[in-house]
Structure formats: C-alpha cells, structure tokens
Amino acid sequence: MKSRVRMNKLGKFAVNKIHQGDSLKLLKELHSNSTDLILTDPPFAIEFKAKRANYNRIAGNVIEGYNEISQEKYAEFSLDWITEAYRILNESGSMYVFSGWTNLKDILNAVDEAGFKTLNHLIWKYQFGVFTKKKFVTSHYHVLLLVKNLKKYQFTKLDHYPEDVLVVNREYWKGEKKTPTKLPLALVKKLILYSSKEGDLVLDPFMGSGTTAVASKLTKRNFLGFEIVPDYIKLANERLSNGRKLKGISHYSTN
C-alpha cells in the first residue's frame, strides 16, 4: 500500500504509524496536499468528565489522560487545526469531522473561514444517551462531510439510497481497557469506504483509541495518526496487532 503514498510530502512522519504529540504542532509539519482523507473526532470543549460512569462502565477501565479544551479557547483551537487540515488535504480529498451540538458553531465558523465546502451535514444516531430529567436526551453526533473542491472530490456510492442519518450503535468494550470516547468501527469503516480508494492515505489528528487506524488497515488504506496521550497510542497499537479484535469480533463488533 505504501507505494501510493507520496512519502516526500509526509516529511518526518512514517506512514501506518500513530505519532505522539500535540496535533496542532504536528499538523504544521506536514506538507501541503499530502493526504487523501481526514477523519477525526476532536475534543468537544464540554468539560467532559472522562471517568464518570455515564454508560455503566467501571471507572478503573477508563485510561487516564483525556485532554479537554476550554470553551473560551475552542473557537481558536478549531480554526487552528481546521486551517491546517485544509492545507494538507489534496484537491480530491475530503474530511469528516465529528462534533457534539454544544460548540458546533465554532466548528462551522472555522470550516467556512478555512475555505472548506460543506457537502453534507450528517447525523450519527446511536442507541442511548446520558439520562436527563429536564431536557431531551442527546443520542446523536453531528458529522460534517467537507471537501476542498466540489468538482474533484471522491465519493463511492456504496448504497443505492445513502441517507444522511447513520444509525450505528455504540460499541461495548465490556471488561476491557478503553479511552473515554470512541467511535464504532463499523461507522468509521463505512465513511472511509465512501470517500477514499485502496492505497489512499487517511489521517486522524486526534486518534484516541485507534479506530481510524484499525478501519484503514481493514479497508486497505494507509493511515497516519497523531495522539497526545502515550497510553492511548499503546491501546491503539494493541488493537492493530491483535488479529481477533482487528476483525471486529467480540466486544469490538456493533452486533
């Protein structure tokens, strides 16, 4: 797969590897037009309590180190990394950005200012949310599909009628170590298949538990990841090297 990756445009970064460090700094070291697809779930700036047992999980199984962004700095943070994402994406490339509703406006403003075109505003609907007493339960994420060039982007129509509401259950990692937040493997694989080809380079600047890397490997794409928490990288590498879990069996399945 590596033959299709423009290695000279990746600078010091090895392909098919998760690199440790601050993504705001590492993104600036990538060459322009060097990636085919960006798929990421950045911090939401919602004062997320990484250890809270919202989902009937054991706090001791949640790996420490989650880095949140303050709400006051979120607009600047979003514009910084999204501007770099625009620069490093090639003309036929796309980007999927996951976001909650709370600070979605900062993401949308940054997307427009950076120069992206919004192709779709998707909804990921999952099976449950945190219990509430005086408001509706939130059981969805927003997913923005962004492109640089409306005439050149890749899109493979996998379904005859691809709707913009994606109903995919959250995954249960019962009894396993986990990061506080994670995306379902089935969802990430689907998005990668829609918006890239085999051998393309998929970047996730906020890699977390490594789902984007695992999904890229399963779909015969190259990947490049950035993650600031060393223990998250360790977990991601374990997933990549464990054949049983890599195939989506057991608790890594959405079934």
* Sign of the four-CA dihedral 232, 233, 237, 238: negative
Q: What is the pLDDT of residue 255?
A: 30
Q: What is the pLDDT of residue 145?
A: 98
Q: Give the tens place of pLDDT for each residue, 214-254.
A: 999 999 999 999 999 998 899 899 989 975 455 443 333 33
**Most confidently modeled range among 9-13, 35-39, 63-67:** 35-39
CA distance 78 to 80: 5
Q: Give the tens place of pLDDT for each residue, 44-97.
A: 655 545 444 444 554 554 455 456 677 889 999 999 999 999 999 999 999 999
For 60, phi then psi, to 5°, come to -65, -20
Greater confidence, 156 or 175? 156
For 90, phi then psi, to 5°, come to -80, 170
Strand extents, DSSP E, the chain: 17-20, 35-40, 89-99, 117-125, 140-147, 165-167, 201-204, 222-227
Write down the pTM of the prediction: 0.85
End-to-end CA distance of the chain: 30
What domains does the chain contain, in order, with CATH numbers? 2-48+56-252 (3.40.50.150)
Q: Give the tens place of pLDDT for each residue, 87-144.
A: 999 999 999 999 999 899 999 999 999 999 999 999 999 987 778 899 998 889 999 9
